[in-house]
């Protein structure tokens, strides 16, 4: 007996995927629109578009962020697609993460829930962007935070984190928020999106774009930020 129809996709795992079955089926359904159901689409891998294969991955089903919620594509306030880290435990980690100099550009809506939440983080619980009360904090050193007064709990934001071998610098919507010499020359061995360090989470917002450069983009930082702000209608 032979199969006489068409086959679009076959996925074979060398392990039991019982815990991930619903998420895998939901992603396939969302792509092919096979049946009507309130399903979510989960992100197991955020692919590196540079060709360097430095993907941000999450193999644990319960910790995967969401791109489709109840059959609807998640978007930000500008109507652009965004990845939601909504339940406070979701995060992605890069496959290649040993960096000394680096620049990170991140477009998020900056919804944080407590001092242990973080949009970006790295080794030694270096929380790049976290929160205390209603204020966004930036960890520019191994042991200290700098705080922006006033609430930034919602709305599209562009956060930039840059290390040039001498200084660590933080920018929000192209505005400089502080510099430090600590960690400026350290080799960061883990880069995580949506969690502080290895174990603490609670980021509940969305991220629409994440650019990671293995160099300090000193000369063109402002131009890159301007392009992101223009694309997402950020003033």
At residue 151 the predicted structure's pLDDT band, cuts being 50, 70 and 90, is very low
Q: Which of 132-141, 153-162, 182-191 has the lowest average pLDDT?
A: 132-141
More confident residue, 196 or 175: 175
Q: Higher pLDDT residue, 29 or 132?
A: 29
Q: In terms of pLDDT, which residue wins out, 40 or 161? A: 161
Quote the CA–CA distance of 151 and 76 in Å, as a whole number: 19
Query: What phi and psi, each to the nearest 5 degrees, are found at residue 100?
Result: -110, -70
**Could you tell me the pLDDT band of residue 230, with boundaries at 50, 70 and 90?**
very high
Look up residue 15 and give its DSSP letter. S
Q: What local confidence, expressed as pLDDT, does residue 218 receive? A: 93
**Residue 158: how many CB atoms within 10 A of its CB?**
24
Per-residue pLDDT tens for 82-141?
999 876 678 888 887 777 788 889 898 877 666 566 777 765 555 566 665 556 666 665
pLDDT at position 149 over 50:
no
DSSP 68-91: EETTEE-B-TTS-B-EE-TTS---
Average pLDDT over all residues of the chain: 79
167 has a pLDDT exceeding 80: yes
């Amino acid at each position: 007996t032979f199969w006489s129809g068409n086959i679009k996709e076959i996925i074979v795992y060398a392990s039991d995927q019982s815990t991930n079955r619903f998420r895998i089926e939901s992603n396939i359904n969302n792509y092919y629109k096979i049946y009507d159901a309130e399903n979510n689409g989960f992100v197991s891998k955020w692919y590196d578009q540079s060709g360097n294969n430095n993907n941000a991955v999450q193999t644990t089903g319960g910790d995967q962020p969401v791109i489709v919620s109840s059959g609807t594509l998640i978007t930000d306030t500008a109507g652009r697609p965004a990845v939601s880290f909504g339940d406070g435990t979701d995060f992605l980690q890069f496959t290649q993460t040993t960096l000394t100099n680096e620049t990170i550009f991140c477009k998020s809506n900056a919804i944080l829930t407590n001092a242990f939440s973080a949009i970006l983080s790295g080794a030694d619980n270096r929380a790049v962007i976290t929160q205390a009360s209603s204020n966004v904090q930036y960890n520019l050193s191994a042991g200290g935070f700098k705080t922006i007064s006033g609430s930034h709990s919602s709305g599209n934001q562009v956060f930039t984190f840059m290390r040039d071998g001498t200084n660590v610098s933080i920018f929000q919507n192209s505005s400089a928020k502080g510099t430090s010499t600590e960690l400026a020359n350290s080799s960061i061995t883990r880069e995580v999106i949506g969690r502080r360090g290895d174990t603490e989470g609670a980021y509940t917002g969305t991220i629409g774009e994440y650019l990671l450069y293995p160099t300090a983009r000193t000369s063109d930082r402002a131009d890159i930020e301007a392009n992101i702000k223009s694309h997402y209608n950020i003033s």
